[in-house]
Structure formats: C-alpha cells, structure tokens
C-alpha cells in the first residue's frame, strides 16, 4: 500500500481529511481512507444523499423513542379502545341534549303507563334537569345497546308464601309477558342447575365451615368433619311449565336446608334484572292467575322445559 508521505500529506492534513470524509456515506468498489493505519486503501467515493439530514433526523427520533413498529401499532389500538370506552360513557343521543323540556313532558306522560320508566326517573319527575341526568345515566349504562329493547326489569319482583310445604309444593313465577323460547331456556336452566346442586347436597347448613371464616389468613378446612356430616339432598322436581305469562315448577326439597330458597331467589334477582323480567314469585299455592290445569296445547301458550 502507498504511505501518506508518498502523497505529500502531513499528519494534520490527513486527520482533517478523515474528519471530512466521516460525514459522508460510502459506496462499494471505490477507494477509502483508513483511519487506523494512516495509509491509503482502495477509497470509496463519498456520496451525499439528497434528504440525508431529514433521514438521519427521523432515524434518531425513532431510535430515541425506544419503540418499534409493533409497539406503535399496539399503542394506537389501546388509544382507539380508550376513546371508544370514553364515548360509551360520555356520549348520548342528540335528542337528549336538544329540546330537553319537550322530552321531559313526553317522559312525564309516558310514566303514567310505564312502571319501568317510573322506576328509572324516580323522584325526578317535574324537575327537567334531574330528569335529564337520570336519562343520561340510563343511556350510559346501556351504551351502544340503547336502541335495543330491554330484556330484564329494573323493578324488583315481589316474593310471597302460601302454605308452602318444602316437600310438596309449587313455586310460581309471574312474568311481564308470554316468555319466548329463549326465556323458557334461561329460567329452566337456572332451576335445573339449582336442582342439580341440591341433589348433590350443596344446601347443607351443617357443613358451612368457611361461611364465617376470615380470608385474611389461610383458613383451615376439616375434610373429615365435612365427610361425617349427615348429608342433605334434594329429592325430586318436575318439569318447568308455562301458560301465557305464568310459570310453575313442583319441588320436593327433601332434606335440603331452607337456605336453598335464598340461593334460588339470588339467582332469580339477577335473571330478572338482566334477562327476563319477573313480576312476582310465590312459594306454595295450587293455582295462580289464569292457570288451567291439564292444558298442554302450545297453540294456547303452553311451553315447558324438561329437567
């Protein structure tokens, strides 16, 4: 290789040339100047890109942000999801913003014939601003399904007992209207699950070891004690029958404890609120409403769920 002195360059001039060449991009098959040996090797011709400064700036920004393309996409997805959730909570139909006094009069008139609407508005009737807030709250809870008809009821159902015999009685439930096939399946599935748990001895108050235990520390469970407890079992149940808006199921609780009824009512509370509105549940009694004994014709509103 040729030395620097053969080119007639001093050491200071050589260093200056290296500093200048370090600012350029290089291409192959051209001589380049070595920085380590102060010798001339095949030199690569410096070529400056037209948008070199802008490209370098973008590369620095990208590297400096510490993100990747995938990370930026995920960030965008999270931001869009956050925006959708915000809109769901804070946006409601334009009709609720405009003509609010006219809407209040319409709502007041509708409350006369709609028990659920009265429950939504509560004591706000006559106060347009408070009525607006109640409607907004209702819309926010419904979200995008505001136009979708409500399947449950905001009104709590009534519970009554009529000479209820736990080993030979009907449980009656009155709905707001004739049940659809979906409603029949929902109610029947709840009662079937309740029966299966009772059949397996779930409703046994003699073995409630953890009911009043604190979960701050790991509780202890005595398996031998649970095994030796006298079992309790649900004895029998009928299919769930429907005539128009009334349904019934015959039960024999057997040796199951009465808190099985609390469990059933807890299930029906959520079922009525979210899915199938229930007006009342009656334990006991032989005939309720317009129930016609022996009528099993589907053309007259009879439906059933096989347990």
Q: Where are the domains of the chain?
A: 1-65, 67-148, 158-203+223-305
Residue 102 has what pLDDT?
59
Q: What 3-state class would DSSP assign to 304?
A: strand
Is the model more confident about 130 or about 116?
A: 130
Lowest-confidence pick of 23-37, 80-94, 197-211, 248-262 = 23-37
Helix ranges restricted to H, 156-251: 181-199, 223-228
Phi, psi of 75 (to 5 degrees): -65, -40
Q: How far is CA 205 from the centre of its chain?
A: 33
**Percent of the chain predicted with pLDDT > 70:** 68
**Mean pLDDT, the chain, integer:** 76
Instruction: Report the candidate in 152, 139, 172 with the shortest Cα–Cα distance to residue 269.
Output: 152
Flag whether pLDDT at 180 surpasses 60: yes
Most confident range, picked from 20-29, 44-53, 142-151: 142-151
Residue 135 has what pLDDT?
74
Residue 131 has what pLDDT?
77
Residue 52 has what pLDDT?
54
185-213: b (≥16 Cβ within 10 Å) or e? ebbbebbbebbebbbebbbbeebeeeeee
Residue 93 has what pLDDT?
53
């Amino acid at each position: 290789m040729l030395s620097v002195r053969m080119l007639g360059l001093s050491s200071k001039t050589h260093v200056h040339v290296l500093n200048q060449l370090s600012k350029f991009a290089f291409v192959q098959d051209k001589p380049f100047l070595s920085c380590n040996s102060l010798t001339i090797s095949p030199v690569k011709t410096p070529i400056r890109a037209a948008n070199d400064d802008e490209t370098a700036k973008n590369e620095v920004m990208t590297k400096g942000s510490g993100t990747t393309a995938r990370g930026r996409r995920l960030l965008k997805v999270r931001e869009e999801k956050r925006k959708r959730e915000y809109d769901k909570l804070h946006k409601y139909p334009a009709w609720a913003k405009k003509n609010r006094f006219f809407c209040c009069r319409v709502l007041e008139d509708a409350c006369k014939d709609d028990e659920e609407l009265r429950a939504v508005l509560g004591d706000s009737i006559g106060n347009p601003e408070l009525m607006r807030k109640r409607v907004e709250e209702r819309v926010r809870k419904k979200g995008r399904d505001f136009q979708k008809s409500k399947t449950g009821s905001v009104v709590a159902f009534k519970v009554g007992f009529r000479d209820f015999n736990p080993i030979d009685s009907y449980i009656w439930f009155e709905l707001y209207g004739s049940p659809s096939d979906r409603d029949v399946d929902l109610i029947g599935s709840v009662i079937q699950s309740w029966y299966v748990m009772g059949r397996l001895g779930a409703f046994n108050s003699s073995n409630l070891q953890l009911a009043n235990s604190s979960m701050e520390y790991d509780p202890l469970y005595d398996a031998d004690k649970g095994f030796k407890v006298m079992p309790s079992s649900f004895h029998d149940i009928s299919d769930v029958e429907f005539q128009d808006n009334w349904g019934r199921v015959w039960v024999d609780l057997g040796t199951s404890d009465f808190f099985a009824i609390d469990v059933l009512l807890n299930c029906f509370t959520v079922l009525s609120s979210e899915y199938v509105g229930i007006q009342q549940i009656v334990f006991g009694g032989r005939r309720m409403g317009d129930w016609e004994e022996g009528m099993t014709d589907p053309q007259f509103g009879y439906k059933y769920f096989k347990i």
